Amino acid sequence: MADFLASAGSYLFLQNALWAALLASVACGIVGSLVVCNRLTFLAGGASHAAYGGIGLAIYFGWPPLLCTLLFSLGASLLMGFVSLHTPARLAGKEGGADAAIGVLWAAGMAFGIILIELTPGYTGELMGYLFGSILTVPRADIWAMALFDVLLVVVLLFFRQGLWAISIDKDFAQARGLPVRFLYLLLVGLTALAVVMLIRIVGLILVLALLTIPPAIARRFCRSLYSCMVVAGLCSLLFSLAGLVLAWYTNISSGAAIIAVSTLAYGLASLPSLQRKTE
């Protein structure tokens, strides 16, 4: 451990990794809690995999990867959200319902990205980093982008906290009170897409779903309010990211997979019946 701490003081890339873990944890705590409470996990999975289309576009045209991925994922997510909103509840689980549309966009975005990357002449880049994350290679520019997003996230939460809270607990009632439920829902979906793109840098698009759902799922077992759930989920996310980073450092395994392994272990421990009884 001392070796890791000494290296963190010396190496810029490790400092960047620690900053990335901290900043991603803020997004994970806030957005992850809303995703879990709104049962948007499938939609978040669709957003993360569709983001691969943005990566493909960025590589093919030589555009900035973060911005391109962010815009593509945002567009795909809003489309999924729009379909969800316009699918009657009685059709939601049936053929042609929102689930099917999300599944189609999920696969289509990924396929689009793969095709574009394969068509890119002479591209030999490292794709594993996008699929499984590479927190140790996050550049300083991305750290600033993540910080900016966190600020935006907190500001949006402060402005819309009651609206987002209302649609999370009871959409029907919120709509009956005249709250702009559709706007708030699409806002939440948009925030989810942005958070997904941020977290892709840490754990990759394959594993992003786990980091977005495991910490809030653990937090929800012990918290009685949405806001405390956000704080605890954020702290859990930071803890898991740091533990995974240390594990990857000493065992030379993929940092994204190590972070998810730690998170899954913690989820298993939190699900133990003895802990369940204590919190009831």
Binding residues for another protein (CB under 8 A): 37, 85-89, 159-160, 162-166, 168-185, 220, 223-226, 228-229
Per-state percent for the chain, helix, strand, coil, to nearest 5: 85, 0, 15
Q: Which is nearer to another protein, 8 or 171 (CB)?
A: 171
Q: Which is nearer to another protein, 69 or 87 (CB)?
A: 87
Considering the complex, what minimum distance in angstroms separates the CB of residue 166 from another protein?
6
At 227, phi and psi to the nearest 5? Answer: -70, -40
Per the CB < 8 A criterion, the answer to whether 32 and 91 are in contact is no
Q: What is the number of H-type helices and E-type strands within the chain?
A: 12, 0
Considering the complex, what minimum distance in angstroms separates the CB of residue 37 from another protein?
6
At 123, phi and psi to the nearest 5? Answer: -75, 120
CA atoms within 13 A on the CB side of 86: 9
Q: Which is nearer to another protein, 26 or 226 (CB)?
A: 226
Q: Which is nearer to another protein, 13 or 227 (CB)?
A: 227
* Secondary structure letter of residue 139 according to DSSP: -
For 141, residues 6+ apart whose C-beta sits below 8 A from its C-beta are: none
Considering the complex, what minimum distance in angstroms separates the CB of residue 89 from another protein?
7
Q: Which is nearer to another protein, 123 or 183 (CB)?
A: 183
Considering the complex, what minimum distance in angstroms separates the CB of residue 67 from another protein?
27
**DSSP labels for 215-246?**
HHHHHHHH-SSHHHHHHHHHHHHHHHHHHHHH
Considering the complex, what minimum distance in angstroms separates the CB of residue 113 from another protein?
30
